[in-house]
Amino acid sequence: MESTNGWAEQLKAMEGIAGDRRIDHRYDLKLELRWKLIRRQRALDSGTGTSVDLSSGGILFDAGRPLPPGLNVELSIFWPALLRDTVPLQLMVFGRILRTSGNCAAIRMVRHEFRTIAQLPEHRRAATAQGGRTPSAPKPAPWY
């Protein structure tokens, strides 16, 4: 007769096999994005969508329509945080579509980078009200 510990170990081993075996932890973030299908440095198609989840290795997103697996894709994701509390950011992701299901596409990230984007209209209005100058951001703390 096997002990209770033996069954617990077997159950844990089976859960590891049947469960999520991804290396990278996935984060449920619903962020607006723009996508472009790329082939030979040319945009074949583009559209808008929403991220479903993100990890350091890939992204699952809803493209609003089915996309073909195997093509390169460029995502421009509107990031929810501001640089120095004033400048909007976007996360640029370059990768390949690995699989699709309905309107959702899973990509493996090849490269990513953060970029600043043009000021939001309310920031431009605030700058105009201050004589063309944008509100000054707080100075960063010294790094030492």
Backbone angles phi, psi at 142, to 5 degrees: -60, 145
Domains in the chain: how many in total?
A: 1
Tell me which residue range forms the domain holding 93: 22-129
- Please indicate, yes or no, if residue 7 is contained in any of the structural domains: no
- Please indicate, yes or no, if residue 105 is contained in any of the structural domains: yes
- C-alpha span between 46 and 80 (Å, rounded): 22
The residues near 144 (Cβ < 8 Å, ≥ 6 apart) are none
Q: How much is the pTM?
A: 0.66
- Please indicate, yes or no, if residue 85 is contained in any of the structural domains: yes
- C-alpha span between 132 and 143 (Å, rounded): 31
- Please indicate, yes or no, if residue 134 is contained in any of the structural domains: no
- C-alpha span between 67 and 57 (Å, rounded): 20
Backbone angles phi, psi at 77, to 5 degrees: -105, 125
Spatial CA neighbour of 33 closest among 13, 4, 19, 53: 53
pLDDT tens by residue, the chain, 144 residues: 445 556 666 655 555 555 555 566 787 889 999 999 999 889 999 999 999 999 888 999 999 999 999 999 999 999 998 998 889 999 999 999 999 999 999 999 999 999 998 765 665 555 445 544 444 444 444 443
- Please indicate, yes or no, if residue 3 is contained in any of the structural domains: no
The CATH number of residue 76's host domain is 2.40.10.220
- Please indicate, yes or no, if residue 17 is contained in any of the structural domains: no
Give the tokens for residue 55: 């990890």
